Amino acid sequence: MLLTSAIVDCAAYLDGKRAPGCTTPEVALAEVRARGAGFVWVGLHEPDEAAMADIAATFGLHALAAEDAVRAHQRPKLERYDDVMVTVMRTVAYVEHELRSVSEIVVTGEILVFTAPDFVVAVRHGEHSGLSGVRKELEADPDRLRLGPGAVLHAVADYVVDTYVDVVASLQADVDLMEEEVFTPGTKIAIEPIYQLKREIMELRRAVNPLAVPLQLLVQPEMPLPKEVRRYLRDVSDHHTAVAERVNDFDDSLSGLVGAALAKIAVQQNTDMRKISALAAMFAVPTMIAGIYGMNFEHMPELRQPWGYPAVLFTMAALCAGLFVVFRRSKWL
């Protein structure tokens, strides 16, 4: 009997209902093939090579596909090995964070779905991509389960794309807040959080956009899927297209936002330099006068006059005050 901690759930489904007693892949598969109806659905979480080798031997999975399931980090794709389809999907999750912080915003995972006429093997990587809710939803709808393994493939794809929608909605709020901060007059801009958000958007785009091709292939008539499942997948593909367009819009918006932020930082730096220059000019006047009277020549005007010292101080103060007024009116100070 096959026992592994990587198995999250295993069941045989006959006539749209979960068959009792089929709690291991070997028993479930034997039951389904003995009856000549139904299918097996096995869920795995981050299996190691030994566990995946056992699963591959039980279901006859290709060695290359089994290797991909262990290593993960695959691009979304659709492959066929005889009567087994392998669909790779990237999962994403949003991480709550402070707007000005430089931290991870989007975490990614992976789900590989092996689909054959009498079984589905779903291998997931990442803690955020649990499929227990998908299984419960399907078990509550026997009519969909009667459609076979294709119904499970559709449910997983629909779940993944729905998480894309949720993550995009959260990122939309981040982008809106960042735009408000950048374009609010008088605010100090930290460019690092903008770059971080743009990097996370790029990671999201790498997860979302490549899934378009597999979804388009799955709806083709030559795919070994029921017609009703292909209709469901067409709807998923439409939702995915909308999400991908929004992600691309985010990337364009953030590129413009980076340019605006850099321009605002340049303006802030120019303002600071003008203030520094104005202060330097104001200090240069008394420094020049003090330097002249510090040359210690014997014959200098007003050197021995009793009013010479206060006159020089008054002149310094008057010139500095005049420069302050000039710079203030010019908005340099």
14-18, 194-198, 254-258, 263-267: the lowest-pLDDT one:
263-267
* Cα angle 266-267-273, degrees, rounded to a multiple of 5: 90
Contact, 165 vs 41, CB < 8 A?
A: no
Query: Residue 99: what pLDDT?
Result: 65
Higher pLDDT, residue 333 or 286:
286
Binned at pLDDT 50, 70 and 90, residue 3 comes out as very low
pTM of the entire structure? 0.79
For residue 147, give the 3-state DSSP assignment.
coil
Q: How many CA atoms lie within 13 A of 96 on its CB side?
A: 0
* Cα angle 41-47-50, degrees, rounded to a multiple of 5: 110
**Distance separating alpha carbons of residues 328 and 88, to the nearest angstrom:** 64
Query: Residue 100: what pLDDT?
Result: 63
Tens digit of each residue's pLDDT (9 = 90 or more) over 83-92: 999 999 999 9
DSSP structure class, residue 111: E
* DSSP conformation letters of 27-94: HHHHHHHHHT--EEEEEEES--HHHHHHHHHHHT--HHHHHHHHH--PPSEEEEETTEEEEEEEEEEE
| Residue-range domains of the chain with CATH | 7-265 (3.30.460.20), 268-329 (1.20.58.340)
Average pLDDT taken over every residue of the chain: 86
Name beta bridge partners: 84.
81
Tens digit of each residue's pLDDT (9 = 90 or more) over 224-260: 899 999 999 999 999 999 999 999 898 888 888 888 7
CA neighbor of 138 nearest in space, from 114, 164, 120? 120
